[in-house]
Chain A
Amino acid sequence: MWSRRCLLIVVIGGLLLPMLTVGCGNPSGGSGVPGRSLEDLSAGKRVTGDQGGDAATATSAVLQGLREMVLYIGSPFLLRGTLLALQIASLAMVGGLVLGLVLALMRLSSFLPVRGVAWFYIWFVRGTPQLLQLVFLYDALPMVGIKLDTFATAVIGFALNEAAFSAEIIRGGILSVNRTQAVAATAFGMGPFLTLRRIILPQAMRAILPGMANDTIAMIKLTSLASVIFVNELTFRSQQIVSQNFKFFTVFAAAGAIYLMLTTVISVAQAVLERHFNLELDRSATSRSVLARFLSIGRDAHPRAAPEGGDRIAVPEPANLMVALGAPTSRAVSGARLGHGSVPNHTNGDSGSAFVVCDDVCKAYGSREVLRGIDMSVRRGEVVTIMGPSGSGKSTLLRLINHLDRLDRGEITVGGALVGYERIGTSLQPARNIARARADARIGMVFQHFNLFEHLTALQNVIEAPSRVYGEPHAAAVERGMTLLSSVGLAHHAHHLPHRLSGGQQQRVAIARALAISPRLMLFDEPTSALDPELVGDVLGVIRRLADTGMTMIVVTHEVRFAREVADRVIFMDNGVIVEEGPPAEVLGAPKQPRTQQFLRLVEREVGTF
């Protein structure tokens, strides 16, 4: 340890040597020239340099200067100042981060007063000099009876200031994470804070880290501002020495070297953390330690994802999916946890009853009416496909069923219960815990753009909701997750991050993820629209087999053939209303409405080009 430090000192000394020579060549002489001996130094004598000395004396002067500098670096007086700077900076950084996170979330709030307060705080703190803030805290607060000591003032002052800056860095990080990540987490019943902690922040870290490292380094150095409130940190102490012996060069070089050592530690920590949060570098399980991954550099054997063609699914039989869905242990556990008396029924046993009922559903975004009075019901075990041109409100309807968005009018029940609403009198009020309500509804959702959690492996994606929302034991969740991944033919990709998988593979992982919560209803929002044509088949195959298990499903799709083969009923929507509905043979085979006919002609021409 000691030898490491010496090495560091020598290296930094070596860097400073040329500077020192320049300093000695300073024609104005005076205190720029280091003392001849340590005795001179400690006696505070001022040596007015004898200029124009020969090369030998110049060299010895440089060496002497270096020696002095190293002595100053090791002096307890300066080290105490260093420690103080570190204590203040680290405490203030922790406080600033916590407060900054709160402010960032306030800034992102949809509630104007909350947003406004955070904006005002950041505007004020960023806009006023930190020195004045410190003086105010130290010298003005006693007037109202709050007397903080020097150290507390410094920590609080720097933390309050850092909060404003880190809030913006954190907010930038959060905004850099695709919004669809939060939508997916929400759809699986994850509450806002769980979503933030598990999904958003880990992905935001990569954008947040460089800025935070900057702030940390800046703060360590800026603690010198606090000398005005009697904080005797490193810079202040070095200035004090200089004002006594006027040897600014060696003393300040020593202080600079100490700062450099401190900030080097921060820089290294930054590099290590950035590696940790860098998804491109990650190869498999994120549970591997940083060190382990560090050691495996250069002999990483994980191949890039095999092309889809070489990875044809070991086609799971419906029975396999049934097993995957019906793993009794996890069902029992999660059912008990949620207080459900009954285990969801996935069979066609009572196919007569309406499971999803939409009654006069209306939704507008601003002045644009997206849904204008939808009445629809889906029976238990029924597979309904919703078709229609884009903008017809299909996706919005799915989002409303899962309460990812609020209803303007009308109501939707799933299994007889409102999702995230409470009936008070005749009106509906949003439930207090909407996330819990979504979880209780057990609605699995598959998105057009997959929306897999980018920082989690396929398996972690699948087990996230079961273990975090439904409290399933880890081992059981993993076991079932692997079963589900096998059933969609991706067991060997279980430990790959989504960006290593093809679109079709990602969508199959997304289906496994939706199935992992033992859903009573599956919603598919154009599950194949973002896929290359040759990958569509695999995904549709999985959905088809799922339909065969008796799962109640609503599928928004443009795949006419799929609808014809799989759907029990087709609903055609246009411009916010249901235009036509009925068995596929009727709606797709002999559409009555001109709008439906026109759309089908268009879609089939497109399909024909494949």
Chain B
Amino acid sequence: MRSARWLIAVVLTGAVVMTLSSPAAAKCEPEKAGANYPNLVGKKIKIAVDPSTPPYTIRDPNDFEKIVGFDADFARAVFRCVGLQLEFVSGAWSGLLPSVIAGQNDAMWSNLYYTAERAKQVDYVVYMQAGTGALVQKGNPKKLKSMDDTCGVRAAAGLGTVEEAAFRDQSKKCVATGKPEIPQVSYPDVAGGVRLVQNDRADVMLTDLALVDQLARDNPTAFERGFAVMTGFKVGVAIKKGREDLLKALGTGLKEMQADGTQRELLKRYGLDPTLQITSETLRN
């Protein structure tokens, strides 16, 4: 069951697609927000984020109260474009999606991958694809060059993430081929995972490729990238099912911010590869 999840997700990503947004959207029309989104205008749309995910959502080093990062800045730009107000609500990552499903928050915008499983509970507007990277200690002492090399090594991944599931699936594969299973550790926040590798409590940590590259770049004596997996995962905003107006607003805004090059610019500003951008689309299951 678990082993199928990784693959199915990739396949379904392409398969289950419905485009909602009107094809002929022109440009940003913040002044028409009242006419376009009468139920949303003037309200603060609550966006759930976990500001411990560099470079997507992090605390501003000069003012911890402020949330910055690619996702946060991009969200601000999109909302400005459609003339709506947003408010970031920060919490632990594992609590974000449940809060959207429960209606406590309006959307989750915090480096969330699209999976078919999740799409049963929320609607998505996707805007980029993700790569997954393996963070290892300097010199890659365990010589990890692909997922197949991870049999028997101590592996770390974020709690409730697709990477965690990926290690579980890989571990089963290892056992099936007569290799040792993967002793796995799940961490609640990225910094905690980084410490696992840094203190030699884990041999490899699987997380977002951009983050892995940034860590390796900033700490050249401590870390390097072991390998990368182009998973084809799409990254998007998740919205509670049935919030058609918000879905439409985000679809429109994202399209505009891609069209005028804002997304590309922000990707570059935060050290992310601009080619990760994909044409935004609304995905619902």
CA distance A142 to B98 in the complex (A): 11
CA distance A271 to B123 in the complex (A): 55
Tell me whether A229 and B189 are in contact (CB under 8 A). Answer: no
State which of A25-33, A209-217, A508-516, A585-593 sits at the interface with chain B.
Answer: A25-33
Inter-chain contacts of A229 with B (CB < 8 A)? 91, 95, 99
The reply to whether the CB of B76 lies closer than 8 angstroms to some CB of chain A is: no
CA distance A30 to B196 in the complex (A): 12
Question: Which label, helix, strand, loop or mixed, suits the secondary structure of the A interface?
Answer: helix
Inter-chain contacts of A597 with B (CB < 8 A)? none
Nearest A residue to B64 via CB reads: A77
The reply to whether the CB of B219 lies closer than 8 angstroms to some CB of chain A is: yes
Interface set, chain A 206-243, CB cutoff 8 A to B: 227-232, 236-237, 239-243
Inter-chain contacts of A48 with B (CB < 8 A)? 219-222
Inter-chain contacts of A236 with B (CB < 8 A)? 90-92
Chain A positions 1 through 38: 1 when the CB is less than 8 Å from some CB of chain B, otherwise 0: 00000000000000000000000001011111000000
**Contacting residue for B104 out of A32, A42, A147, CB 8 A:** A147
Inter-chain contacts of B149 with A (CB < 8 A)? none
Tell me whether A244 and B54 are in contact (CB under 8 A). Answer: yes
**Contacting residue for A28 out of B53, B64, B200, B220, CB 8 A:** B200
CA distance A138 to B52 in the complex (A): 22
Question: Looking at chain B, what size class is its interface with the partner chain?
Answer: 35 or more
**Contacting residue for B58 out of A32, A42, A243, CB 8 A:** A243
The reply to whether the CB of B122 lies closer than 8 angstroms to some CB of chain A is: no
CB distance from A141 to the nearest CB of B (A): 8
Question: Which label, helix, strand, loop or mixed, suits the secondary structure of the B interface?
Answer: mixed
Inter-chain contacts of B105 with A (CB < 8 A)? 230
Tell me whether B222 and A29 are in contact (CB under 8 A). Answer: yes
**Contacting residue for B219 out of A31, A43, A228, CB 8 A:** A31
Q: A46-B218, A236-B92 are in contact. Are A245 and B52 (CB under 8 A)?
A: no
The reply to whether the CB of B266 lies closer than 8 angstroms to some CB of chain A is: no
Inter-chain contacts of A29 with B (CB < 8 A)? 221-222
The reply to whether the CB of B19 lies closer than 8 angstroms to some CB of chain A is: no
Inter-chain contacts of B62 with A (CB < 8 A)? 42
Chain B positions 15 through 56: 1 when the CB is less than 8 Å from some CB of chain A, otherwise 0: 000000000000000000000000000000000100111100
CA distance A44 to B215 in the complex (A): 13
Q: A48-B219, A135-B98, A138-B104 are in contact. Are A243 and B53 (CB under 8 A)?
A: yes
Q: A242-B191, A248-B191 are in contact. Are A230 and B89 (CB under 8 A)?
A: yes
The reply to whether the CB of B177 lies closer than 8 angstroms to some CB of chain A is: no
The reply to whether the CB of B4 lies closer than 8 angstroms to some CB of chain A is: no
Nearest A residue to B218 via CB reads: A46
The reply to whether the CB of B198 lies closer than 8 angstroms to some CB of chain A is: yes
Tell me whether B191 and A239 are in contact (CB under 8 A). Answer: yes
Tell me whether A227 and B95 are in contact (CB under 8 A). Answer: yes
Tell me whether B222 and A28 are in contact (CB under 8 A). Answer: yes
Tell me whether A30 and B222 are in contact (CB under 8 A). Answer: yes
Tell me whether B61 and A44 are in contact (CB under 8 A). Answer: yes
CB distance from B156 to the nearest CB of A (A): 15
Nearest B residue to A232 via CB reads: B90
The reply to whether the CB of B235 lies closer than 8 angstroms to some CB of chain A is: no
CA distance A229 to B100 in the complex (A): 11
Nearest A residue to B220 via CB reads: A48
Tell me whether B61 and A244 are in contact (CB under 8 A). Answer: yes
The reply to whether the CB of B59 lies closer than 8 angstroms to some CB of chain A is: yes
CB distance from A60 to the nearest CB of B (A): 21
CA distance A139 to B59 in the complex (A): 26
Inter-chain contacts of B174 with A (CB < 8 A)? none
Q: A139-B102, A229-B95, A245-B61 are in contact. Are A240 and B54 (CB under 8 A)?
A: no
Q: Which residues of A contact B (CB under 8 A)?
A: 26, 28-32, 42-44, 46, 48, 75, 77, 135, 138-140, 142-143, 147, 150, 227-232, 236-237, 239-246, 248
Q: Which 7 A-B pairs have the closest CB atoms?
A: A243-B52, A230-B91, A228-B95, A44-B61, A139-B102, A77-B64, A243-B191
Q: Which residues of B contact A (CB under 8 A)?
A: 48, 51-54, 58-59, 61-62, 64-65, 89-92, 94-95, 98-99, 101-105, 189-192, 194-195, 198-200, 218-222
- 7 pairs of residues in contact across A and B, judged by CB atoms under 8 Å: A28-B200, A31-B198, A46-B218, A142-B103, A227-B95, A240-B52, A245-B61
